[in-house]
Structure 1
Amino acid sequence: MFATGEIALLRPAGVAPLLERIRRVRAVSGIPLVGDDRWSSEHWGHVARAAADARLTPDIAWASMTSGSSGSPKIVLRTAMSWSASFPLIARLLDAGEADVVAVPAPPVSSLTLFSIAHALEGGPRPALARGHAIVPADYADATCFHGTPHAFRALLERGCPPKLRAALVGGSHLDADLRERAQARGIRVTSYYGSAELSIVATDDGSGLRVIDGIETRIVEGELQVRSPFAAERYASAPLRGDGRWVTSGDLATIDDGLLRLRGRADGAILTASATVIPEEVEAALRELPGVRDAVVCGLPDAVLGAVVVAIVEPESGAEPSVGDLRSQAARSLAPSHRPRRWHLATLPRTAAGKPARAETYARLIADGGAAS
Structure 2
Amino acid sequence: MVHLIEQEFGTFKGEPVKKFTWKSKSGFSVSVISYGAIVQAIEVPDKHGEINDVVLGFDDINGYVNRNTPYLGATVGRCANRIGGASFQIDGATYELAKNVGIDHLHGGIVGFDKVNWKSVVDGNQVIFSYLSKDGEEGYPGDLVTSVIYEVKDDTLYVEFVATTTKKTVVNLTNHSYFNLAGHELGAAELYNHVITINADKITETTSESIPTGKLLNVGGTPYDLRVPKRLGDLMATTSYDDNYCVSTHGNEGMNFVSRVEHPPSGRYMELYSNQPGVQLYTSNFLPAPGDAALVGKGGSGYRLHGAFCLETQKYPDAVHHPNFLTTILKPGEVYRHRVSYAFGVVETEKPAVVVA
Task: Using structure 1 for the length normalisation, give the TM-score.
Answer: 0.29
Task: Return the structure number with greater relative CO, CA threshold 8 A, min gap 6.
Answer: 2
Larger helix proportion of the pair: 1
Q: Choose between structure 1 and 2: higher strand proportion.
A: 2
Q: Which of 1 and 2 has greater Rg?
A: 1
